Amino acid sequence: MTSQTDLIFDPQLIRRFDINGPRYTSYPTADRFVEAFDAQALTDWLGKRAVGGVSRPLSLYFHIPFCNTICYYCACNKIITKDHGRSAKYLNYLEKEIEMQAAALGGTRQVTQLHLGGGTPTFLSHAEMHQLMDAVRKHFNLVPNGEYSIEVDPRKVDFDTVEMLANLGFNRMSVGVQDFAEDVQIATNRVQSVEETKLVIDAARATGFKSISMDLIYGLPKQNVISFNRTLEQVLELSPDRISLYSYAHLPGLFKPQRRIIPIDLPSADSKLQILQLAIRRLTDAGYVYIGMDHFAKPDDELTVAQRQGRLHRNFQGYSTQAECDLLAFGVSAIGKIGPVYAQNVKTLDEYYDALDRDELPVLRGIELTADDLLRRSIIQALMCHFELSIESIEIAHLIKFHEYFADEIADLKEMEEAGLVKIDKDWISVLPAGRLLVRGIAMFFDRYLRSDRERARYSRVI
């Protein structure tokens, strides 16, 4: 068994094995979902939750797509507007979707986790936030001391708003920063001072928020090692409980706002690696634990504790402590998970409103997992969350002989094994310290869909 804090940064190995690949917030990944899985299929599965008397607790996700301004790097599904009439209409339809999913639901309505993402959830006015949470509580039971989190844009939030969120039951916050360097902020159209960020974090601590996470991005235009080192110093002074350090994927063909970024302003591949190396060293020297892909947390944070205890999980919001939940998702493009199925909502407001006007759940596509999907999902989860896999536990849970079933995969991993990234023996597969930054690439070998489809250009690079 290996220590979770071990991490070796080897630029040569990273260059050699840095390929395009999925982020594995689900397996199969969302691009494998099919439109044959429709609103009726989701309704049926919502009703089946209590079959056999077993009913998992619930996690709820709400997608609030509105933003006041556009950040050029953004790849989220969002709508840029200053018109609050649009959010008022959206909330009315969101309430209808909540009511419809709740009506179809079998089993418990106990909610242990809730997350508001976007877009910018704090685009909603105080009255609208109250309206949404009232609708949630009308149909679901939010247990005391659950994990209730919200993404916050510090440029639009004051102490009163943070206090209002705390009074509504939110106890975890994710704060968008990306970079504090002014020229980087201008180049990405997101100008945000350290002072306004500190105000929000101080307000969250003063009003009882249990965990504050901060998002950073490396690889942005105008970024360099010296400027990002200063950003890291400012971040460490603010001392968030968790830090997400994302790689910027420049895909202007897929995401229109990125066309406003001047390619010559982007750091070179080598500069980007140096920024990442610096960030990992600064964060780990400051006591943060490398949880896994993009994520760092303090040693006493719930994520770190969950990883130490083997309870860490990965879902559409990233790493989570709530492995056993069914995830209900609401709003445009939101993705939920019920038992062995995933379902994703339609992506535009017009389609969303049209479906709900027809009294149909606004499902675009989904998938019902096969036995093979469930097996491979458990392997990918273990590698992404714990950097190791007990072969015996997989064999017992899925009634297979691992080394026979995955003979091709194990053979294909030989190159990575010889490079010192992964160790495979009779009982364990372990991602070694030099392989941890490349864990996506290791997980990809167990992705049956990728094995039959070598077209990976649609994915971002691993590093």
List binding-site positions for S-adenosyl-L-methionine.
Answer: 61, 73-75, 118-120, 151, 178, 190, 215, 249, 335
For residue 346, what are its two tokens?
């339609």
DSSP characters over 359-388: T---EEEEEEPPHHHHHHHHHHHHHHHHSE
Q: Which 8-state DSSP code applies to residue 176? A: E
The answer to whether 238 and 214 have CB atoms below 8 angstroms apart is yes
Taking the mean position of all CA atoms in its chain, how far away is CA 98? Answer: 22
115-338-355 Cα angle (round to 5): 80
- Rounded CA-CA distance 291/34 in Å is 32
* Long-range contacts, 424-427 (Cβ 8 Å, 24+): 426/391, 427/390, 427/391, 427/392
Which residue is listed with tokens 């360099």? 224
* Burial class for 422, CB neighbours closer than 10 Å (0-12, 13-18, 19+): buried
Q: Which 8-state DSSP code applies to residue 322? A: -
Helices 84-104 and 39-47, axial angle in degrees (round to 10): 50
- Rounded CA-CA distance 300/210 in Å is 12
Q: What is the identity of the amino acid at 450?
A: L
The answer to whether 244 and 318 have CB atoms below 8 angstroms apart is yes
Binding-site entries: 61, 67, 71, 73-75, 118-120, 151, 178, 190, 215, 249, 335
Helix (H, G, I), strand (E, B) or coil at 52: helix
Taking the mean position of all CA atoms in its chain, how far away is CA 139? Answer: 26
Which residue is listed with tokens 């708003």? 161
- Rounded CA-CA distance 120/69 in Å is 10
- Rounded CA-CA distance 177/172 in Å is 16
Task: Using the Cα atoms of residue 19, residue 27, residue 388 and residue 307 in order, give the sign of their dihedral.
Answer: positive
Q: Are strands 428-431 and 422-424 parallel, antiparallel or unpaired?
A: antiparallel
Binding-site entries for [4Fe-4S] cluster: 67, 71, 74
For residue 211, what are its two tokens?
């965990």
459-462-463 Cα angle (round to 5): 130
What helix, strand, coil percent values describe the chain, rounded to 5? 45, 20, 35
